[in-house]
Amino acid sequence: MQQALEQLPVAYREVLLLCEVEEMSYQEISATLAIPMGTVMSRLSRARKALRGGLQEQFAERVN
């Protein structure tokens, strides 16, 4: 998981960490990073999707 997290683009990683680890609301993240709420939501969604993809790749590598 940590490896997959580190492989995320910085813009996705920062939003994801602020949401999940710091437990900030979308509005707080939006204010902290000075980006619109819609951007917070889309980056979060893409970050989670990329993370799932990264984990699946790691799993496939281990199996093969």
Question: CA 64, CA 60: separation in Å to the nearest integer?
Answer: 6
Enumerate binding residues for other proteins (CB under 8 A).
Answer: 1-2, 5-6, 10, 13-14, 16-17, 19-21, 25-26, 31-34, 41, 44-45, 48, 51-52
The CB-of-9 to other proteins minimum distance in angstroms stands at 11
Q: Which residue, 25 or 57, is less far from other proteins as judged by CB?
A: 25
CA 54 to CA 15: how far, in whole Å?
17
Please report how close the Cβ of residue 58 comes to other proteins at its closest, in angstroms: 13
Nearest CB to other proteins, comparing residues 1 and 63? 1
Tell me the Cα Rg of the chain: 13
CA atoms within 13 A on the CB side of 7: 14
